[in-house]
Chain A
Amino acid sequence: MKWQDTHITEVLVIGAGLAGERVAVEAASHGHECTILSLVPPRRSHSTAAQGGMQASLGNVAMGYGDNPDVHFEDTVKGSDWGCEQDVARLFVNLAPIAVRQLSYWGVPWTRVVPGKKVLPDGREIEDLPEKEGLIAQRAFGGTAKWRTCYAADGTGHVLQYSMDSMVIKLGVTVHDRMEAVALIHDGEHCYGAVARCLRTGTFRAYLAKATVIATGGYGRIYGTSTNAVINEGTGMAIALDTGVVPLGNMEAVQFHPTGIVPTNILVTEGCRGDGGYLLDKNLHRFMPDYEPVKKELASRDVVSRRMMYHIRQGYGVESPYGPHLWLDIRHLGTEHLYTNLREVCTICGNFLGIDPAKDLIPVVPTQHYSMGGVRTNIDGDAYGLKGLFAAGESACWDLHGFNRLGGNSLAETLVMGMVVGARVADYVKEAVMDFPPTLVSDAVKKQEERVKQLMTAKGTENVYALRKQMEETLLNKVGIFRNEADLKEAVATLSDLYARSQHLKLRSNGLGPNPEVAAALRLPGMLRLALCIATGALNRQESRGSHYREDFPKRDDANWLKRTLAYWRPGADMPDLQYEDITINELPPGDRGYGEATGVTQVGD
């Protein structure tokens, strides 16, 4: 390694999406030096793809009047199927309104209240009052008692990321894009930073910091089909797991979004259903009210996805070369509404399906979308197991979402948790000293350089893309929406075989410079470790909770499973070590969600 290339900073943030940038902005505004590493320029981050909005109980619109943090709290806990940390949820709902208003102060063009009488698609008449004119508006999302999702037309994530990044630039935060963290530097007690591979040159470099923050988003792309951006490969979670001492929480909690388009799996926002869209089957029958008479299309995502798959299994899916799907119908919302508040949906439909949603039905199927699990942290964002390591956003398991995240709570989490963790990191680095054991650093870099040398010279036989494809298909087919013991056992066996084979990769290109095959080869073993955490966690958990649905154990089992999975990967192990911890339940005892299998007319899977 070249010591002169080493970069020293007080705070090292890995990932430049909303969570990472929000942490950096908070730490920088407390006067600390921050460096962000990112695979791509910050404004390309997957946060920008969130079209729908961000939940905060402002209660400015007619259908939101009377909303407050208590109602938001209850929705979030029910949504999580009592899997979340309730003290975290309480902190979150109290801070969300501040986060939304702060973003407005930083420049986000939130859609505003326009007073007047309106008729909803279902015929109800409402009136937005003149005294609320110009305040931040909210729209409906699934699993919420009130209209609570603040939004900026059809591109909320995009404008949030652009405003956040404008603050990063204003504060002079250093950003190194095309720089991938491939290992954490640690001694089993402290984290000292990370080894990164430059995606411009292919060389390695050490980043040393008092505090290191993982904010790399989800792992969606380890599933064969996902709404996620192609960069969402779970790299941050993987390098935390790789330390052997940092556990990942609830990796079996994987969210499927009801409306990925067929084919291409691109997401169309929950705002479609929030604004009054319907789900139809092959007979053009609106089937959700049959299953969910109260919430209809707006039950939580896990429930709607399951109802859809159940309905398809009953033979009501629309046949297509890409498998059966259902229809999303938003034609009745009208051209003007569609081309203002859901324009992104229109664009996606035009570009990738060649249809106009004002006239045509949209083919949709539930698609892997969000990782509730991640690097387990406490309420301040400190990762379990290593001092000086923190995590925020989707890559973290804070744990706000438990076994199912509500729509609109992920953008909100990135900003609220970013604010909380940023303040905690600022406090931490004020006390911490810069002190790096030099051999630990050079050994960590050498280890990664050796991996590449090994890849370029070894006599391996395995093709990285072939193994990867098998991993994706195994997860999709065996660890999906409906799970059972036989499938999960098979998945664990297949993944474990793939993991062994991933130690014998053979490059088919020369591997020189910013070579993408090397990048893929370096990532694959870590992705397989995540896949094994998901599959073994799902196999062990003999109950159904939120998005984790076991056909052989269809009921939630609070007596035995009101706990969180912690997956460790011990040094040299070939399987994860699963531990369990209690969940903080200090306000709302486990009960009925008010939607889903417990209350529905039809018992799915029963």
Chain B
Amino acid sequence: MAQRILTFSIFRYNPATPEIKPRMQDFQLDETPNMTVFIALNRLREEQDPSLMFDFVCRAAICGSCAMLINGRPQLACKTLTAELPETITLMPLPVFKLVGDLSVDTGTWFRQMCETTEAWIHTDVKFNPKAEEERMDNAIALDIYEAERCIECGCCIASCATANFRDDFLGAAGLNRVARFLIDPRDQRSPAQVFEVVGTDEGVFGCIGLMACDDLCPMEIPLQTQLALVRRKMMAAALRCQCQK
């Protein structure tokens, strides 16, 4: 196959120069073997435009920093091979999150807020005893918790979520998966009724309209559909129990 010249059509905006309106800018780059969007963007910055803003940290698809819209699809740029893309590649920042500049968005603030809203930490009255043996846990439960904890907070599920795109306060799949992670953890003493207070709403689990783009696009392949269903089921049960007690 002849070597391709790729055209990257990239969203540009620097908040420090608001007089220059947001625009698309085209760059040409020769494709090299095994080229990823990570390699391409770094070359563009070093060789053509050092002001180009984007985020990479691990470049190994484990930190979640580099999600962006690649030809309209939210995905991790570091593991996207250019060979799998057409000659013209459009790069846009993720929607929903606040723009920092060009392809860089502020996912950190969004996820911290989500963690604060859902109180995403272990709630327990037990005091830590440094002299005691650890509490025991069935390895199957440990693996279940781990499965939910694999979320890397990249924001692909949020960016692709119809509800999140029109409701600022929707927790999204990442948020509900985080709730599921603590629901199944025996160390967390919150009752389903307490969790219901937080997520048994339209901002929470009942805001999902079931399009399931989150499940299709999760780069970690977390079974978000199953996790959402688990939270819904538990919340439904908690709600019914409350009703019966009234």
- Measuring CB to CB, which residues of chain A are less than 8 angstroms from any residue of chain B? 40-46, 48-49, 58, 98, 100-102, 104-107, 109-114, 133-137, 152-153, 155, 158-159, 162, 165-167, 169-170, 175, 177-178, 200-202, 229-231, 263-264, 266-267, 321, 340, 344, 347-348, 351-352, 464-465, 507-510, 512-517, 520
Give the chain B neighbours of A137 by CB distance below 8 A.
139
Residue in B15, B62, B137 with the greatest tally of chain A CB atoms within 10 Å: B62
State whether B50 touches A229 (Cβ < 8 A).
no
Report B75-117 residues with CB < 8 Å from chain A CB: 79, 100-101, 104, 106-108, 111-112, 115-116
State whether B50 touches A508 (Cβ < 8 A).
yes
Q: Of B34, B58, B139, B187, which one neighbours A114 at CB under 8 angstroms? A: B139
Q: Of A48, A134, A507, which one neighbours B62 at CB under 8 angstroms? A: A48
Q: Mind listing 17 A-B residue pairs with CB under 8 Å?
A: A41-B153, A43-B111, A44-B108, A46-B57, A48-B62, A100-B134, A101-B132, A104-B134, A105-B124, A136-B134, A153-B143, A175-B112, A201-B16, A264-B60, A344-B62, A510-B17, A514-B104
Q: DSSP majority for the B interface? A: loop
State whether A101 touches B57 (Cβ < 8 A).
no
Give the chain A neighbours of B133 by CB distance below 8 A.
101, 135
Give the chain B neighbours of A512 by CB distance below 8 A.
14, 16-17, 51
A44-B63 in contact given A514-B53, A516-B45 (Cβ < 8 Å):
yes
State whether B130 touches A101 (Cβ < 8 A).
yes
State whether A517 touches B142 (Cβ < 8 A).
no
- Measuring CB to CB, which residues of chain B are less than 8 angstroms from any residue of chain A? 14-17, 33-34, 36, 45-46, 49-53, 55-65, 79, 100-101, 104, 106-108, 111-112, 115-116, 119-122, 124, 126, 128, 130, 132-139, 142-143, 145-146, 149-150, 152-153, 185, 187-188
State whether A49 touches B62 (Cβ < 8 A).
yes
State whether A162 touches B149 (Cβ < 8 A).
yes
Give the chain A neighbours of B16 by CB distance below 8 A.
201-202, 512-515
Give the chain B neighbours of A133 by CB distance below 8 A.
136
State whether A178 touches B108 (Cβ < 8 A).
yes
A158-B152 in contact given A465-B46, A514-B16 (Cβ < 8 Å):
yes
Q: Of A112, A352, A517, which one neighbours B60 at CB under 8 angstroms? A: A352
Q: Of A58, A230, A513, which one neighbours B56 at CB under 8 angstroms? A: A230
A44-B52 in contact given A106-B122, A166-B120 (Cβ < 8 Å):
no
State whether A266 touches B139 (Cβ < 8 A).
no
Q: Give A178 to B49 CA distance when docked, in angstroms.
A: 21
Q: Give A301 to B136 CA distance when docked, in angstroms.
A: 33
State whether B134 touches A48 (Cβ < 8 A).
no
State whether A109 touches B142 (Cβ < 8 A).
yes
Q: Give A446 to B155 CA distance when docked, in angstroms.
A: 38
Residue in A340, A347, A348 with the greatest tally of chain B CB atoms within 10 Å: A347
Which 9 A-B pairs rank lowest in CB-CB distance, beginning with the nearest? A513-B16, A41-B108, A134-B136, A517-B50, A509-B51, A166-B121, A109-B145, A112-B139, A351-B79
Q: Give A296 to B62 CA distance when docked, in angstroms.
A: 30
Q: Of B62, B101, B137, which one neighbours A158 at CB under 8 angstroms? A: B62
Q: Give A275 to B73 CA distance when docked, in angstroms.
A: 38
State whether B59 touches A134 (Cβ < 8 A).
no
A102-B108 in contact given A230-B59, A516-B45 (Cβ < 8 Å):
no
Residue of B nearest to A340 (CB): B143
Residue of B nearest to A231 (CB): B57
Residue of B nearest to A510 (CB): B51
Give the chain A neighbours of B104 by CB distance below 8 A.
514
State whether B136 touches A46 (Cβ < 8 A).
no
Residue of A nearest to B46 (CB): A465
Q: Give A175 to B55 CA distance when docked, in angstroms.
A: 19
State whether B79 touches A135 (Cβ < 8 A).
no
